[in-house]
A = this chain, B = another copy of it.
Amino acid sequence: MKDNYVTKWIDEMAFETKIDGHSVVMDATEKYGGMDRGPRPKPLLIAALTGCTGMDVASILNKMKVTYDSFEIETETDMTDEHPKTYTKMHLIYKFKGNDLPIKKIEKAVKLSQEKYCGVSALLEKGLELTYAIETIEN
């Protein structure tokens, strides 16, 4: 399967990528010549990763008829101090809040995402240490 994307320089340090008809604007801070009109590009890797696995898990739990009040994924990262500054580790904490949360089903959904479905996890874990934990909080 092939896809094409275009990223356009706006001005100074700002760039825009059109994805699925949505505009993603990235910019640097004033310290680095930008105007902070959007996020820095590198942490978009975190959004890509957590959005990818989050949608997998939400979809699988929906099929399992599992409901919850809230669902968050916290990501802790480690990064190199020298150029090229890049992530060396990402640790995801899947946090669910609800009533009578079925822990085994949640574990199964997360495992299916991480080991079978999430293409962003599959790619990033070739270049960094990717780990995860699950936390559930009863109302």
Measuring CB to CB, which residues of chain A are less than 8 angstroms from any residue of chain B?
1-9, 12-13, 15, 17, 19-22, 24, 26, 28-29, 32-34, 36, 38-52, 54-55, 58-59, 62, 70-81, 83-87, 116-128
Q: Which residue of B lies closest to A63 (CB)?
A: B33
A120 with B50: CB separation less than 8 A = no
A33 with B19: CB separation less than 8 A = no
A13 with B79: CB separation less than 8 A = no
Cβ distance A130 to chain B, nearest Cβ, rounded Å:
11
Copies of the polypeptide in the assembly: 2
A120 with B45: CB separation less than 8 A = yes
Given A26-B51, A84-B118, answer yes or no on A13-B45 (Cβ-Cβ < 8 Å). Answer: no
Cβ distance A26 to chain B, nearest Cβ, rounded Å:
4
